[in-house]
Structure 1
């Protein structure tokens, strides 16, 4: 999120000529790529009920990210677009800072968080859809690093995305963390992979879905996922606590997509097989 600071009278006079928001167009969405919190709140107040605004981390492929063409894309975003279409609403993709997601949801800037969002450990903080996909938290290391197990991480530098499920899993196991040389946070996993590749860290703790996608995109041979997962979980769609009405509308459309095969088709597009678990 950009923060606009006013420095004196001249800056105030120039504000009208500045913009804190940048938009790009996709097939079915006007995608807002940058807003201040106050601007976003005002936009939410004026939005009508014909929009469905999805909050997501734009550096979280293959669930939601910026494609080579500069447009937002991803498995979760495709699901959200199909749901919006069936609801008769315009889809809006709103990239958010992951550690500010609760503020975005409570302020009304977004209608839901839909982007590889793990239910476990957050059960009472949101109104949830049914789980639709399974995932593990894993460690990724450089191939040939002689790190073959979690035990080999003793004395090593480990990196994790701030406010992620992997970070929560590590916080729940302080005895493991004590064996590391250090545990540091990073804003997104693209940066994490660069740090790992350059030798700044020895391992990344992250979602297996994202790890496998990132490794494949980088040629498939430079990185390795350790066999033993840190934790197992399920993905769901998180709505503001108490917003059961919108949750039920969205869930009904997801159930339709499961029944008519659309959920499977979108999954096969991104993963080559049906990885969804919606019942």
Structure 2
């Protein structure tokens, strides 16, 4: 293991253990036998990838570099390429489904999709999904215009801040960082981050609260236009989300991602997306 990644790996190991404990605690009634569980999972109602051999990936198509529409009009992105490789190695069919992010819970509960793979934050969502092991470090940060004069959280007082609806950043600003948000002139939400950054560039808002990876992507595209505050709203991890109870698929995806890292696929993919803000330094699943 590379020394420069030791801290990242340890952080993700802690998160992974925490996720396993949560899953074990929410795994079902103590009166349910293992044979009953097996029978239930084998019914026609089981739409998991492990049962159907088809991975139906729900993602936000306006979420670069993790999922977006490429120059050729096809869906692409770091997470989508990970998903396609995982499916290929397991002999699964893969179906990429762009979704309205607000509808993700309804879609996964109904079986219209069987996973959420889109820079998906674990923290704060542990009880709502079954997760793979965390694979990427992330944080929630604030981005402003380079010429705004905003250099700290204190400077955000009286400013207009925007974030994506139902995002991890919104959860943090209405939770642990609610006192900070109370100092804003307003906290606004919008459907996608691309539009949020258009509003920031035009001066319609003063700052964007978003994932570190999104900030890195936008700043790499326009380094003279934006700057990121040194302070972070929170630190967290990305993982793949599945319907509660789908441990079979979650475990298989985690195992396959580890194999992909061992044989160099992950590092090569990180390098492919390096100019869009992806860093192998933040990969933490080994």
Place the TM-score, normalised by the shorter chain, in its bin.
0.7 to 0.9
Distance 1:58 1:101 in 2: 13
* Aligned position for 2:98: 95
Name which of 248, 255, 260 aligns with 2:251: 248
Equivalences for residues 1-279 of structure 1 within 5 A: 49-172=52-175, 173-217=177-221, 219-271=222-274, 273-274=279-280, 275-279=282-286
State the Cα distance separating 1:125 from its structure 2 match. 1.1
Distance 1:158 1:58 in 2: 23
TM superposition score normalised by structure 2: 0.79
Tell me which protein shows more helix as a share of its residues.
2
Note if contact 2:117-2:241 (Cα within 8 Å) is conserved in structure 1. yes
SS of aligned partner of 1:201 = coil
* Aligned position for 2:31: none
SS of aligned partner of 1:119 = coil
Distance 2:146 2:139 in 1: 20
State the Cα distance separating 1:232 from its structure 2 match. 0.5
List structure 1 segments (4+ residues) > 3 angstroms apart after TM superposition: none
The structure, 1 or 2, with the larger RCO (C-alpha pairs under 8 Å, 6+ apart) is 2
Note if contact 2:164-2:170 (Cα within 8 Å) is conserved in structure 1. yes
More off after superposition, 109-118 vs 263-272: 263-272
Tell me which protein shows more strand as a share of its residues.
1
TM superposition score normalised by structure 1: 0.80
Distance 1:205 1:93 in 2: 27
RMSD: 1.5
- Count of residue pairs the alignment pairs up: 233
Note if contact 2:172-2:178 (Cα within 8 Å) is conserved in structure 1. no
State the Cα distance separating 1:51 from its structure 2 match. 2.0
Distance 2:122 2:134 in 1: 8
State the Cα distance separating 1:201 from its structure 2 match. 0.5
State the Cα distance separating 1:135 from its structure 2 match. 0.7
Distance 1:152 1:137 in 2: 17
| Structure 2 unmatched runs, 5+ | 1-46
Q: Deviations over 1:159-209 (max 9, x none)?
A: 010000000000112211111000110000011011111111100000011
